[in-house]
A and B are shown apart, each in its own frame.
Chain A
Amino acid sequence: MSADNRYRKIGYRRKLPVIIKYIILSIVLIIIMIPIVILIFGSVKTRGEFLTSPYTIPIPPRWENFIEVLKMNSFWRLLLNSFLVTIATTIGTVLICSLAAFAIARTKFRGKSFVFNFLTLGLMFPVTIAILPVYLAARKLALVDNLWGVILIHTAFQLSFGIVILNNYFKSIPSELQDASYIDGCSAFGFYWHILLRISRPALATVAAITAVFSWNDLMVPLVLLNSEDLWTLPLGTMQFQGQYGTDWAMVSAFVTLSAIPAVVLYLFIQRQLISGLTAGSIKG
């Protein structure tokens, strides 16, 4: 107790005054927010206002740009495609990773460490680096210009990460639980499906969160794989929109703002899972 007091006393005397901390953090906060705020300001201006005063506070706000973007069929199409890809990738990744991690963490077999090392190879090869080889393979498999191609590739490149996280989590589950369920007549798959998946929700949510953010934001795979406009995802469509309407900044701002909303909303919901996943591997030692 006395140690605690002493720590506190010395801590406060020698530390930067708290007020200075807040000032520095606030400056950083403003720097972080500037690009975002300017984008939003720009999106509620008319084209003329944008040209004359691009970064002032928009009074009154004009919602025409938003309305126009929301009226575009192509925008909804992009949104839908992105949702399809992200949801399918997330479900696929969680399922496949949990199956593999279950086998690795909870069963015995020969060559287990080899299999584990093999399945974690993906940590070293991000999809950006491997994109050409992957594209060539997808072309052979007729997965070009096909959302399944994007989904499968996204899934494949998230596997290693998911398996590592789930493997660690599954290992920490007491073996009595598994024994008991087998005694009660559960099969291995039964244990996995009815019990393991249920009690591992936090870890599964973490894997899902990281996968969803990756899949939602990725440009590279859709860019090389998808030719038809009907199949484009949001990042790809946003890039093309900017190229096409590059001079109409107000409109581009509105488009970009709208395309950012799902990610921001998702972030606010899954923040905890995301953070625990991103830091899980990195705080050891």
Chain B
Amino acid sequence: MKAKRDDDIARMEPGENRYIKLKDRLTITWFLLPAIVLFLIFLVYPIVQSIYYSLFDWKGFGSAVDFVGLGNYIRILTDKIFLKAIGNNLIIVVLSMAIQLPIALILALMVGRKLRGRGFFRTVFFMPYILSEVITAIMWMFLYNADPDRGFINAIITLIPGVVARAWLGELNLVLLAIFVVLTWKYFGFHMLIYMAGLQNIPTEVEEAALIDGANRRQLITHVTLPLLGGTIRTSAYLSVLGSLQVFALVWIMTKGGPVNASELMSTYMYRYSFIRFELGYGSAVATVMLLIALIFSLAYRRILVKPDYLG
């Protein structure tokens, strides 16, 4: 406790001593109270309660009495569909890292600092981000329609001789890819934005110095620009992973996780068990597992990779 206190004091900047202290502890409490209360009610209490419920077989009515211990967790970890959902989440993360983020990065480098029309491209590329997932999903359902007379994508590809129309959202081995395309459409602009801001933060002098030292364009990018963007890239990757855990509406509207669970994600799985089948005990266990994954990932990211960029 004492160490903690010293820590707090050490963190204060020298000028801070001159602040007239709020002598009234109560005032500080009043300032912090709304935030803390909301947090306790909607974050801490629900999570603790869910961990409790996850130990029961509970349908949501009356109080939970059917204690099953870790039974729900064993069921989760042995359920092929849940494992499939984790796999799908991972596939989306890997595809994002391999395709979406590089596209965003290349485009950000291309737009650079002073290309004319920079602001215009940024505005348009970022537009999909502010459309809701609901709107996005409906739009793309039109595009993906299996009938080439109705779906634009099939209409285009069937122009090529020998190419047949596909049911993009109905085929087991296509559906996840189709969803990934939509995710890329919607979110690459966000990552591009982050990279553009990161680029803006690199002082031009550094790049100029490298050029004077004889670096060519490619060397400049691989040895100077990209390393300096390191923190930004890591943050964008972090947000991308956390984002993949949050994808729900898009998939729920387009495929409901189907066909045959081919596009099942952890979020759709959790939603189905909780709000369609009303197996709230089991759903709580699924939620707990997802929260654990988010927590472990965030902690690992902060501890192992970097100091918390995000917290400034």
Interface, chain A (partner B; CB < 8 A): 3-4, 6-7, 10-11, 14-16, 18, 21-22, 24-25, 28-29, 31-36, 38-39, 42, 51, 54-55, 95-97, 99-100, 102-104, 106-115, 118-126, 128-137, 141, 152-153, 155-157, 159, 163-164, 167-168, 175, 178-179, 182, 187-189, 192, 213, 216-220, 224, 234-236, 238-239, 242, 249, 252-253, 256, 259-260, 263-264, 266-267, 271, 274-275, 278-279, 281-285
A263 touches B38 (CB 8 A): no
Main secondary structure of the interface of B (DSSP, over half): helix
- Complex CA gap A123/B245 in Å reads 13
Contacts of A6 in B (CB 8 A): 208, 211-212
When the two chains form the complex, which single residue of A129, A164, A187, A263 contacts B132, counting CB atoms closer than 8 Å? A263
A175 touches B18 (CB 8 A): yes
Interface, chain B (partner A; CB < 8 A): 4-5, 7-8, 11-12, 15-16, 18-22, 24-25, 27-28, 31-32, 34-36, 38-39, 41-43, 45-47, 49-50, 53, 107, 110-111, 115, 117, 121-128, 130-136, 138-140, 142-143, 149-150, 152, 155, 185, 189-190, 193-194, 196-198, 200-201, 204, 207-209, 211-212, 216-217, 230-232, 234-236, 239, 242, 245-249, 253, 267, 270-271, 274-275, 280, 283-284, 286-287, 290-291, 294-295, 298, 306-307, 309-312
- Complex CA gap A259/B274 in Å reads 29
A175 touches B291 (CB 8 A): no
B39 touches A130 (CB 8 A): no
Give 17 new A-B contacts, CB below 8 A, not counting A11-B211, A133-B50: A3-B212, A35-B143, A104-B32, A125-B47, A126-B245, A133-B46, A137-B49, A168-B312, A175-B16, A256-B138, A267-B127, A281-B309, A282-B235, A282-B310, A284-B309, A284-B312, A285-B232
Residue picked from A42, A179, A279, most chain B C-beta under 10 Å: A279
When the two chains form the complex, which single residue of B46, B127, B152, B196 contacts A264, counting CB atoms closer than 8 Å? B127
Contacts of A108 in B (CB 8 A): 8, 12, 16, 19, 21-22
A136 touches B27 (CB 8 A): no
- Complex CA gap A59/B213 in Å reads 60
The 5 closest A-B pairs by CB, nearest first: A285-B231, A133-B46, A279-B197, A217-B132, A156-B42
